Amino acid sequence: MTSETDHSPGAHGLGEAVAARIERRWATLSIVIIGVLVGLAAFFGIYHTTMPQGRVETADPTTLHLSGEFVESNLGSVLEVDGSVTVRAIGQQYSFTPQCLVVPAETPITIRATSADVVHGFLIEGTNINTMLVPGYVSDLPISFKAPGEHMMPCQEFCGIGHQGMWGKVKVVDQTTFRNMAASKRRLTCVD
C-alpha cells in the first residue's frame, strides 16, 4: 500500500503502520490458504488421476440408433479382454437405455454415454459418479464400485416435463457372478 498518512486516529493507539502490517499478514495468510486449496486439487489430480474427461468426442444424436457403438444391441456392459468392463448407455427423454445397468464390483469400469436429444445428467446415488450427457458429444469416465449393491440412477439435469420420472438403476454384482453372466451374453443389462 502506498497510501500516505494525513492524520492519525491516535485515540485508540492504532497507528497506520500497525494497521497496514496486520492487513498484510492477513493478505499473506489468505494467499497461502488459496495456494494450499489449489495445490490440493492439483495433487489429487496427479496422484489419484481424478481429472475431468481427457478427450472430447462427438456423436450425432439423431443417428445413434442407425450405426456405431450406441445402437440398441450394443448398449450395456461388456467384459473386455484386459478384464475391465465397458458400459455403453444413452440418455433420452425420459429414460436411460439400458434402464438398469449391471456391473461387477472392484473392477475398473469405463462408462461411455451420450444423449439422443437434450441435455441429461448421469448420477449414481451413493457414489461420486456424476457427469453430464450433452447431445453431440460422448461422455467417457472411469469408475469403479467397492461392493455389490443397488443404486438409483436419476437424471440430474432438467430435460423436459417428464424429467422427474427419469430414474434408472445400477446393480453391482460380485466379479464371479458377472463373469458367469458375461459368458452367456455379449452385452449385459439387468432389464427384465
- Of residues 90 through 109, those in contact with other proteins by CB under 8 A are 90, 92-99
Q: Which amino acid does the sequence have at 117?
A: D
Contacts of other proteins in 167-186 (CB under 8 A) = 167-168, 186
As a whole number of angstroms, the distance between CA 190 and CA 181 comes to 10
> Taking the complex as a whole, how short is the minimal distance between the CB of residue 81 and other proteins, in angstroms?
12
* Cβ 184 to other proteins shortest distance, Å: 14
| By the rule CB under 8 A, 5 interacts with other proteins | yes
Our CB check for other proteins shows the closer of 48 and 176 to be 48
Give the footprint of other proteins on residues 109-138 (CB under 8 A).
Answer: 110, 114, 116-119, 121, 123-138
What three-state secondary structure class fits 88? Answer: strand
Distance CA 141, CA 47 (A): 17
**Residues 167/160/137/132 CA torsion (nearest 10 deg):** -50
Note whether 65 binds other proteins by CB under 8 A: yes
Question: In whole angstroms, how close is the CB of 47 to other proteins at the nearest point?
Answer: 9
* The length of the chain, given as a count of residues: 192
Tracing cell 448420477 back to the chain, one arrives at 123
Tally of CB atoms within 10 A around 33: 10
160 sits near other proteins (criterion: CB under 8 A): yes
The answer to whether residue 52 forms part of the interface with other proteins (CB under 8 A) is: yes
Q: Is 38 in the site for other proteins (CB under 8 A)?
A: yes
Helix (H, G, I), strand (E, B) or coil at 38: helix
Cα–Cα distance list, 18 to 4, 12, 24 (Å): 13, 12, 10
Cell reading at 38: 489449489
In the complex with other proteins, which residue's Cβ is closer, 136 or 177? 136
Q: How far is the CB of 106 from other proteins (least distance, A)?
A: 17
Q: How far is the CB of 178 from other proteins (least distance, A)?
A: 18
164 vs 177, which CB is nearer to other proteins?
164
